[in-house]
Amino acid sequence: MDQTPRMASMTRLALVAAVAALFIAGCAVRASYRSDIDQMKAELAEAKAAGAERLAPEEYAQAEACLDWYTHYATQFDHIGDATMANLPARCRNAFASLKSKMVAVREGRMPVEAVAAPVSPKPETPASREAGEQGKPSPLADAFFDYDKSVIRQDAKKSLDENVKWLKANPSATITVEGHCDERGTREYNLGLGQRRAKATKDYLVAAGIDPKRVKTISYGKERPFALGHDESAWRLNRRAHFVVQ
- CA R_g for the chain: 22
Amino acid symbol at 97? A
Query: Which sequence spans correspond to the domains of the chain?
Result: 4-115, 127-246
Extended beta strands in 114-205, E state: 144-145, 176-181
Look at residue 223 in the predicted model and tell me its pLDDT.
92
Region of residue 210 (phi > 0: left; psi between -120 and 50: alpha; otherwise: beta): left
178, 210 contact by CB (below 8 A): no
Helices (H), 57-148: 57-74, 88-107, 127-134
Helix or strand run (H / E) with residue 143:
none
Q: Name the CATH architecture for the domain at 127-246.
A: 2-Layer Sandwich (3.30)
* pLDDT tens, N- to C-terminus, the chain (247 residues): 555 666 666 666 666 555 554 444 444 445 567 788 888 888 888 888 888 877 777 677 677 767 766 776 666 544 545 544 566 678 788 888 888 888 888 877 765 543 333 333 444 444 444 443 444 467 899 999 999 999 888 889 999 999 999 999 999 999 999 999 999 988 899 999 999 999 998 999 998 888 999 999 999 999 999 999 889 999 999 999 999 999 8
Strands 216-222 and 176-181: parallel
SS3 (DSSP) at 60: helix
Look at residue 92 in the predicted model and tell me its pLDDT.
83
- pTM, two decimal places: 0.50
